[in-house]
Amino acid sequence: MTDKTSSNAYWAANIRAIYICLAIWAIVSYGFGILLRPMLSGIAVGGTDIGFWFAQQGSILVFIALIFFYAIYMNKIDREFGVDEQ
């Protein structure tokens, strides 16, 4: 594999991971917290409905989990393409 092809594949994997993380975060924060809140209002979590919980705390916790996922995934991709830190 040429250097240019390897570089393109690396950045394609990076962009794909970013798009996946952004889609998950948008679904959780905007979808569950705003759009689907009326449908989720009957489910109680911690004394409030789950739609409110997602809007206030759930989206933040998902964002933190996505940060860890992205870091772990990018370390794996870095090792595969030989650009990891030794």
Please report the pLDDT score of residue 75 as a whole number: 93
**Structural domain count of the chain:** 1
Find out whether 40 and 50 touch, Cβ atoms under 8 Å.
Answer: yes
Please report the pLDDT score of residue 2 as a whole number: 57
Question: Is 86 contained in some domain?
Answer: no
Per the structure, the complete domain to which residue 73 belongs is given by 3-81
Question: Is 58 contained in some domain?
Answer: yes
**Which of 70, 85, 77, 69 lies closest to 9, judged by CA?**
77
pLDDT values of the chain reduced to their tens digit, one per residue, 86 residues: 457 778 899 999 999 999 999 999 999 888 888 888 888 888 887 788 888 888 888 889 999 999 999 999 999 999 998 887 76
Q: Measured between alpha carbons, how far is residue 76 from residues 43, 58, 64, 81 in Å? A: 38, 27, 19, 9
Question: Is 8 contained in some domain?
Answer: yes
Residue 9: partners with Cβ closer than 8 Å, 6 or more residues away = 1, 81
Please report the pLDDT score of residue 57 as a whole number: 85
pTM score, two decimals?
A: 0.78
